[in-house]
């Protein structure tokens, strides 16, 4: 089992969209995939067409109980299914983890411990944390074997890279020596010179392998999210589907896996 955290502390990087659609592509290729929504905004949960847990049981159905429960009972809640994937949903109550986690035994390593218990059940666990540098993001990064970093085309995306690389270096030093960026994914790419140049600059930086760019598609992605579907389900003939498949294949290759053929629906 490999645990992948999709990380970018800046908003607007298409991080959740990338995690969702790569996860679906892996699942459609026969891999056993678990998606974990670690963001109180719950976009991954909603964009998969799932209800956000509410009421007294909400904390028991999300990461909340897993990371704030007794240290000797760390386990993830039972997942729900969406589009062939298992999903641990999120809810707004998860925001309470931020101030409470530092006082817990094992603290920031709790999600890592809980995920490791699932090693015989999944091939890949994909975690979608908040676009921040808070406790939830730290939990998600420290749970990972590898990071996937979506980088939006343009100056803003490039300017944020220094922070990402510093963060990874810090986590390597203090907790996870083998942590690495497996793949950088250019997102929101368009036909402008700035967009094209930013992708080339990302490649030239040689921080990590750079994937096929994901083109900005102002209608496809929002509409698929509105309908609670991966893009390959919402519009199987869209050119974006081929882009995502290429990124998924490149990610698997970066991880040393032999990509499987995706089942055609």
Architecture of domain 2-254: 3-Layer(aba) Sandwich (3.40)
**211 neighbors 247 (Cβ within 8 angstroms):** yes
Domain ranges of the chain: 2-254
**Tens digits of residue pLDDT in 22-67:** 999 999 999 999 999 999 999 999 999 999 999 888 888 999 888 8
Mean pLDDT score of the chain, rounded to an integer? 91
Which tokens belong to 241? 């589907």
Within 8 A by CB and 6+ apart from 209, the residues are: 182, 183, 184, 250, 254
H, E, C per residue of the chain:
CEEEEECCCCCCCCHHHHHHHHHHHHHHCCCCEEEEECCCCCHHHHHCCCCCCCCCCHHHHCHHHHHHCCHHHCCCCCCEEECCEEEECCCHHHHHHHHHHHHCCCHHHHHHHHHHCCCCCCCEEEEECCCCCCHHHHHHHHCCCEEEEEEECCHHHHHCHHHHHHHHHHHHHHCCCCCEEEEEEEECECCCHHHHHHHHHHHHHCCCCECCCCECCCCHHHHHHHCCCCHHHHCCCCHHHHHHHHHHHHHHHHCCCCCCCCCCC
In the block, tokens 């609670």 appear at: 228
Q: Strand pairing partners for 125?
A: 3, 34
**Tens digits of residue pLDDT in 181-234:** 999 999 999 989 989 999 999 999 899 999 999 999 999 999 999 999 999 999
Number of neighbouring beta carbons within 10 Å of residue 192? 12
Which tokens belong to 78? 């039972």
Number of neighbouring beta carbons within 10 Å of residue 230? 28
- For strands 146-152 and 2-6, give the pairing: parallel
Within 8 A by CB and 6+ apart from 160, the residues are: 8, 9, 10, 151
Residue 159: its pLDDT value, please? Answer: 74
**Tens digits of residue pLDDT in 76-91:** 999 999 999 999 999 9
Which tokens belong to 111? 């999600």
The residue among 119 and 12 whose pLDDT is bigger is: 119
pTM: 0.93
Cα–Cα distance for residue pair 201/197, rounded to 1 Å: 6
**Tens digits of residue pLDDT in 126-136:** 999 999 888 99
Residue 73: its pLDDT value, please? Answer: 75
Which tokens belong to 160? 């944020």
């Amino acid at each position: 089992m490999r645990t992948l955290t999709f990380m970018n502390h800046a908003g607007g990087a298409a991080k959740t969209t990338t995690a969702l659609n790569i996860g679906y592509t892996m699942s459609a290729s026969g891999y056993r995939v678990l998606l974990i929504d670690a963001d109180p905004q719950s976009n991954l949960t909603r964009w998969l067409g799932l209800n956000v847990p509410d009421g007294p049981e909400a904390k028991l159905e999300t990461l909340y109980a897993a990371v704030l429960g007794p240290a000797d009972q760390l386990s993830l809640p039972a997942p729900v299914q969406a589009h062939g994937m298992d999903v641990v949903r999120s809810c707004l109550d998860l925001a309470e983890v931020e101030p409470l986690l530092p006082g817990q035994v094992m603290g920031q390593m709790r999600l890592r411990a809980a995920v490791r218990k699932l090693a015989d059940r999944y091939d890949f666990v994909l975690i979608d944390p908040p676009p921040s540098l808070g406790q939830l993001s730290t939990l998600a990064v420290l749970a990972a074997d590898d990071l996937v970093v979506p980088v939006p085309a343009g100056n803003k995306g490039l300017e944020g890279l220094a922070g990402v690389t510093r963060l990874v270096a810090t986590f390597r030093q203090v907790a996870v020596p083998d942590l690495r960026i497996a793949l950088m994914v250019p997102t929101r790419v368009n036909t402008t010179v700035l967009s094209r140049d930013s992708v080339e600059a990302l490649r030239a930086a040689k921080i990590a392998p750079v994937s096929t760019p994901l083109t900005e598609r102002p209608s496809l992605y929002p509409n698929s999210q509105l309908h609670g579907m991966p893009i390959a389900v919402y519009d199987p003939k869209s050119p974006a589907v081929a882009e995502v498949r290429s990124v998924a294949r490149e990610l698997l290759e970066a991880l040393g896996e032999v990509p499987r053929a995706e089942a055609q629906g």
